[in-house]
Amino acid sequence: MTDTVYHSWLAVLLKWLSASVVVLLLLTGCATRAQDRQGGHILTRFDRQDLATATAFVRHFKQHRGDRMMAVQQGLDSGPVIYDLWSDGKTIEVRIDDSRDIYSDRNQTTFTCKNAEIARAWGKKQFQVSSCEGVEGGGAWLFAFDGLWRS
């Protein structure tokens, strides 16, 4: 009788542990996917996935929805240039921080734009802002998606 009670208690414990492990694995997988989605607003590779993120940013802006995006463009022999874009659905605030690039003016530039698009220029897809206040010429090409061949 004691062996039966012991075996049934052991079976219940093993089932509970197995179920706990399965739940833990599922929750860990869900958390990883959620973290990937949250980190999806930071462009670093300038590949197809980053192009899709930038395209979604432009689409949200044209639908008058707020969004944010950051692009970190690493130089070949110097520090990164960071593009920080915040949209309220009406305007886009662009902040360019090249203070870590030893070959730049080492400053931060901020301007506001009323339009954004992904356009082809010089053989590459590039992120462009236009109808801008605070930038010479009223617009700027910010960064190119030259890593498309990698993905």
In the chain, where the domains are located? 1-40, 44-150
pLDDT digits (tens, 9 = 90+) for 87-119: 999 999 999 998 887 777 778 999 999 999 999
Positive or negative torsion for Cα 121, 124, 130, 132: negative
pLDDT of residue 3: 56
The yes-or-no verdict on residue 10 having pLDDT over 70 is: no
pTM > 0.75: yes or no: no
Strand 67-73 to 92-97 pairing:
unpaired
pLDDT digits (tens, 9 = 90+) for 61-71: 999 999 999 99
Residue 140 — very low, low, confident or very high, per pLDDT cuts 50/70/90?
A: very high
- Residues of the chain by 3-state class (helix, strand, coil), percent to 5: 40, 35, 25
**Euclidean distance between CA atoms 71 and 92, whole angstroms:** 14
83's tokens: 């593009």
